[in-house]
Chains A and B, each alone.
Chain A
Amino acid sequence: MRTSGRTRKAAVIAVAGLATCATLITGCSSSDDNGSKGSDGKSSSSEQITLHIGDFNEFGYNDKTGAKLFSEYEALHPNIKIVEDNVTDGQQYWDSLKLHLQQGSGLDDIQAIEVGYIAEAIQPQLASKFVDFKSIKGFSADDWVSYKEKQATTADGQVIGVGTDIGPTAICYRTDFFQQAGLPTDPQQVAALWNGDWAKFVQVGEQFKAKAPSGVAFTDSAGGLFNAVLSSQPTQFSDQTGKLVYDSSPGVKTAWDLSAKAVKEGLTAKLQQFDSNNTWSAAFKTGKFATVACPSWMTGLVSTNSGPANKGKWDIAQPPQAGNWGGSFLAVTKASKHQAEAAALAQWLTAAAQEVKIFQKFGNIPSNKGGLSDPAVQNTTNDYFGPAGKPAPTGKIFATTAQSIQPAPIGPDDGTVKDIITKNGLLDMEQRGTSSEKAWSNVKAQVKDKLGE
């Protein structure tokens, strides 16, 4: 009896001990993590330090799937070790980064920021948590395409990030469907159909629809068309001061009217881009639409979603007007104990040579001018697109587009309004046949509900 009682007690103690240990370990490891980020104190060039870089999705830096840039940098600087903290979902990444910034804890030395959130990041409250690149040696905003660094510049002139990639947008189209509809298939001729005006793009859609193969819509979604048109407009959701002007913006009106027209005439496949039910990505394979607005990063999605069976059926043409959709920045946090080293790493990662390496591996278009004009980028082709033996000159198409992009002012609420317009306004028109006027007043009511203006 006594022994069994004692063993039971011992077991209870052991279990309790284990549980405490478990909490201690998790607690420890995270605090240890924080500690190592800042524990090294002062920095000299020979001291061993660890730099943490936080990013989302796929930046193409790591050794496993990326361009092995971290190990390259570690070889150049034997005293530096780089650790990447990657979060798959960009929205989740930004939400937690925002909380970390506001609380001033849990921050990495370098944090990536997507262009959709950069306008929020340059607001005084958040911008004060980042190092101003203007104070960093060797930084020149002119190294990047004109609008890139402008987007990361605060009202009082502080530059909080260096540009990684940009998303110049072209048009991907199915040559087989175009041929069946009696349209040209050669990229030059196709581009000539709509050159200079998105309205012509919709007109081509009307021509396509008249002789379209059954079950094939001209373009994938009204939301995608809206984004593509809007990204080429000089005024978008916000004015120069970042104030929301979507209701009176000529750019938004143009994009809305054209998308609404496309919906009304049945030119869209009524899909929602990136929906979590994968209906949109499945429609690539089943050939439900003939065109999709193609930022540089979209080419990868087109090929994986369409699958090897559809290789050679897609091609890429210049868009009616040049626009940018996507891209990111690297920012150095003031919470970092190694700001100088972190800034140096961020500058190295976004230098022309490195951005070219990432492009070759991943197709991310460099935002650095040197990288953009590099022959390695200019001469790149993608053999998934274009007829067999004549791969599409993606490097040239995207680089050309990138050079003629007009910068547009951005604001902190752009993302919210864009979401409401594409998901609630246009998708509602597509799925339920809501009229354009009613959909627009719904959009306004929802923006008012969410943002109070």
Chain B
Amino acid sequence: MATSVRATSDGSPPSSRPAPSTSRRGDPGAPGNWRAKLYRLDTKASPYAYIAPFFLVFAAFGLFPLIYTGWLSLHHVELGESGSGSWVGFDNYTNLWDNQFFWKALRNTFTLGVISTVPQLMMALGLAHLLNYKLRARGFFRVAILAPYATSIAAAALVFVQLFNPDYGMINQLLGHFGVDGIRWDSSKWPAQIAISSIVTWRWTGYNALIYLAAMQAVPSDLYEAAALDGASRWRQFISVTIPSIRPTIFFTIIVSTIGATQLFGEPLIYGGGVGPTGGTDHQYQTLSLYMYDKGWQVGQLGQASAVAWVMLLILLLIGAVQLLVIRRSRRKLGS
């Protein structure tokens, strides 16, 4: 809207152009009026045409699935069933509330999220700090830490499954030398969750480290010089200069990692092998995404799966809102 207003208010160059063209072609009957209408239409409507592709694509692939999933979640719909299913109101949601497997999946999603995100971001911060120093072959290290990000989830998960195999895996062999024997990485709850979160951590640490590194390089060096003059140690500089300076970036990575953790799917599915969608024999590491997949594509209850999807969205919005509040408060505290 703003553009069109501006275009008409100071639009002397465009208005001069149509006049000669009409005279040249010698348009018969109501020449100026029709042209002016067309011109007005152009300035008013064409901006919408320019932005339309985004909104059309968004409507088709973003908004429609969102609303359709919401509609499905209020119906009893089975996979492949023709017709529109039957209206069940909020039954799918109340069933989830009473469902022990849903709560288990929610708890697992939370614990897996915490043990994969927190160490991951801490390590990324440390790595970025190290890479920020002038060191030999810096370019090589920067590429190297991003390498895990370039591997596919499936490939990484399959390798980790072999490493964590309780019977002949390398991790248990290694632990055996220290007198720790027979950890059931496949079936005990916490070992399995740690193994899965190690896949996530391995894949994403480098990616976050690079984002931190980019933010760190934008921190003015005179801040460090001033801190050094004041006698601050390297560690003190990191805590008092680096961290506050890249605070917005840290919040960004926290939000992105939280979203990623809530949607955790491929790693536990592949890690589970034959018991994949149930996430272990006793749902030890079944996440919400896995539960949704199990409901939708294994059992074929699309309505219930859609309800899980919507609950996941609501949880993400809730977490996002909490994070926003925390960010606002911390900004206010800083006073900037």
Known contacts A431-B186, A451-B299, A99 near B80 by CB under 8 Å: yes
Task: Flag whether A424 is at the interface (Cβ < 8 A).
Answer: yes
Residues A424 and B275 in contact, CB atoms below 8 Å apart: yes
Contact (A277, B161) CB under 8 Å given A423-B274, A423-B281, A431-B281: yes
Chain B residues within an 8 Å CB radius of A276:
273-274, 276
Q: In the bound complex, do residue A279 and residue B165 qualify as a contact, i.e. CB atoms below 8 Å apart?
A: yes
Contact between chains at A272 and B274 (CB < 8 Å): yes
Name B299's contact: one of A274, A427, A428, A450 (CB within 8 Å): A450
In the assembly, what is the distance between CA of A45 and CA of B294, in Å?
A: 48
Chain A nearest CB, measured from B168 CB (Å): 8
B282 in complex: contacting residue of A98, A279, A442, CB < 8 Å: A442
The answer, among B81, B82, B275, for a CB contact under 8 Å with A272, is B275
Do residues A423 and B278 form an inter-chain contact, with CB atoms below 8 A? Answer: yes
Output the least CB separation between A227 and chain B (Å).
14
CB distance from A445 to the nearest CB of B (A): 7
Q: Is the CB of A102 within 8 A of B82?
A: yes
Nearest residue, chain B, Cβ from A452:
B301
Q: Tell me which of B99, B162, B281 contacts A427 (CB under 8 A).
A: B281
Write the nearest CB–CB distance from B107 to chain A, whole angstroms.
16
Which chain A residues border B168 with CB–CB below 8 Å? 282
Chain A residue at minimum C-beta to C-beta distance from B275: A423
Whether the Cβ atoms of A102 and B81 lie closer than 8 Å is yes
Contact residues, A91-111 vs B (CB, 8 A): 95, 98-99, 102-103
Residues of the B chain whose Cβ atoms lie less than 8 Å from the Cβ of A102: 80-82
Q: Are A432 and B188 in contact (CB under 8 A)?
A: yes
Range of interface residues on A (Cβ < 8 Å): 20 to 34
Note all chain B residues with C-beta closer than 8 A to A431. 184, 186-187, 281
- A275 at interface, CB cutoff 8 A: yes
- Give Cα distance in the complex from A274 to B276, angstroms: 13
Could you tell me the distance in whole angstroms from the C-beta of B241 to the nearest C-beta in chain A? 48
Interface residues of A in 245-281 (CB under 8 A from B): 272, 274-277, 279
The closest CB in chain B to the CB of A273 belongs to: B274
| B162–chain A nearest beta-carbon distance, Å | 8
From known contacts A279-B165, A431-B186, A451-B299, infer whether A274 and B274 are also in contact, taking CB-CB under 8 Å.
Answer: yes
B3 within 8 A of A: no
Assembled-state Cα–Cα distance A232/B282 (Å): 28
Q: Given the complex of chains A and B, what is the CA–CA distance between A102 and B83 in angstroms?
A: 11
Report which residue of B99, B168, B273, B299 has the largest number of chain A beta carbons within 10 angstroms of its beta carbon.
Answer: B273
Q: Are B281 and A428 in contact (CB under 8 A)?
A: yes
Output the least CB separation between A102 and chain B (Å): 4
Contact partners of B299 in chain A: CB under 8 A: 416, 450-451
Distance in Å: Cβ of B213 to nearest Cβ of chain A? 36
A272–B188 Cα distance when bound, in Å, is 16
Q: Which residue of B lies closest to A98 (CB)?
A: B80
A434: interface (CB < 8 Å): yes
In the complex the two chains form, what is the Cα distance from A423 to B278 in whole Å?
9
Who on chain A is nearest to B102 by CB?
A449
Is A424's CB under 8 angstroms from B80's CB? no
Residue A446 at the B interface, CB < 8 A?
Answer: yes
* CB-defined contacts of A446 to chain B, threshold 8 Å: 101, 278
Residue B12, interface by CB 8 Å: no
Per-position contact with B for A190-218: 1 when CB-CB < 8 Å, else 0? 00000000000000000000000000000
Q: Which residues of B contact A451 (CB under 8 A)?
A: 299
Separation of A446 and B298 alpha carbons in the complex (Å): 13
Instruction: Name the CB-closest residue of A to B276.
Output: A276
Q: How far is the CA of A429 from the CA of B182 in the complex (A)?
A: 17
A449 touching B101 by the CB < 8 A rule?
Answer: yes
Is the CB–CB distance between B187 and A432 below 8 Å? yes
- Can you name the residue of chain A whose Cβ is closest to the Cβ of B284? A432
Q: Evaluate contact between A445 and B100: CB separation under 8 angstroms.
A: yes
Within 8 A of A (CB), among B173-190: 184, 186-188
Contact A432 B165 (CB under 8 A): no
- Determine whether B167 belongs to the interface, using a CB cutoff of 8 Å to chain A: yes
Report A404-428 CB contacts with B as 1/0, cut-off 8 Å. 0000000000001000000110011
Q: If the complex has contacts A102-B82, A432-B187, A449-B99, are A427 and B167 also in contact, measured as CB distance less than 8 A?
A: no
For window 276-299 of A, CB contacts with B under 8 Å fall at: 276-277, 279, 282
Q: Smallest CB-CB separation from A104: which chain B residue?
A: B82
Question: CB-CB < 8 A to B101: which residues of A?
Answer: 445-446, 449
- Please name all residues of chain A whose beta carbon is closer than 8 Å to the beta carbon of B187 when the two chains form the complex: 428, 431-432
| Chain B residues within an 8 Å CB radius of A449 | 99, 101
Give A275 to B299 CA distance when docked, in angstroms. Answer: 20
Given A99-B80, A276-B274, A416-B299, A424:B282 Cβ within 8 A: yes
B102 → A minimal CB distance (Å): 9
Q: Which residue of B lies closest to A95 (CB)?
A: B297
Q: Which residue from chain A places its CB closest to the CB of B81 in the assembled complex?
A: A102
B73 to A: closest C-beta gap in Å: 16
Chain B 79-117 per-residue mask, 1 if CB under 8 angstroms from chain A, else 0: 011100000000000000001110000000000000000
Q: Is the CB of B282 within 8 A of A434?
A: yes
Is A424 a contact partner of B281 (Cβ separation < 8 A)? yes
30 residue pairs bridging A and B, Cβ less than 8 Å apart: A99-B80, A102-B80, A102-B82, A272-B273, A272-B274, A272-B275, A274-B274, A275-B273, A275-B274, A276-B274, A276-B276, A277-B273, A277-B274, A279-B165, A416-B299, A423-B274, A423-B278, A424-B278, A424-B282, A427-B281, A428-B281, A428-B282, A432-B187, A442-B282, A445-B100, A446-B278, A449-B101, A450-B298, A450-B299, A451-B299
Lowest 9 CB-CB distances: which A-B pairs, in order?
A428-B281, A431-B187, A275-B274, A277-B273, A276-B273, A102-B80, A427-B281, A450-B299, A275-B273
Extra A-B contacts (6), CB below 8 Å, given A102-B80, A423-B275, A432-B282: A279-B165, A423-B278, A428-B187, A428-B281, A431-B187, A432-B188
